[in-house]
Amino acid sequence: MEETKVSGGVHMMDIGFNIIEKEAFATELFREKMSIIEFLRAVSREERFGRNVAVFGLDSLLYYSDDAEKVSKYIKTLLEDKANFLFRFNYIIQIVIDGKIEVVESQERPRIKYKDVEFLLYPIFGRVKQVDLKHFIAPLNLQS
């Protein structure tokens, strides 16, 4: 893990994908905010954005998609393909979950519960590390 950390209050955010529950982190969200669609578009085009950014809507994107598994695979592939771009700028990205993040079987494989539907984070981020009760992190290079 990189040395760079940002603290908006109590919790430290490391370089990478900081998957957090909105309710638990409401006062610590980064000022720069993007929707998941804006974020994926910017990443695919390698358009720079603020070093610390809060990304909203992953859970609703999965919920409203016709095929959440296919969407998860697409996001993972895109993030893997653009890992060098993300890594070059050492982004600290908050993936803000509107639903609940729950650990059921393993801390490395939490689930999102959104509107009574559960989604695994694993198909997108692989194994994650639990930092706090409602805070998980995945490296920018998802292949590692």
65 pLDDT higher than 60: yes
CA 8 to chain centre: 17
Q: pTM of the prediction? A: 0.90
Handedness of CA 144, 46, 40, 56 (dihedral sign): positive
- Output the pLDDT for position 11: 65
Q: How confident is the model at residue 1 (pLDDT cuts 50, 70, 90)?
A: very low
Distance of alpha carbon 101 from alpha carbon 104, whole angstroms: 10
Give the pLDDT of residue 2: 40
Above pLDDT 70, what percent of the chain? Answer: 91
Residue 15: its pLDDT value, please? Answer: 94
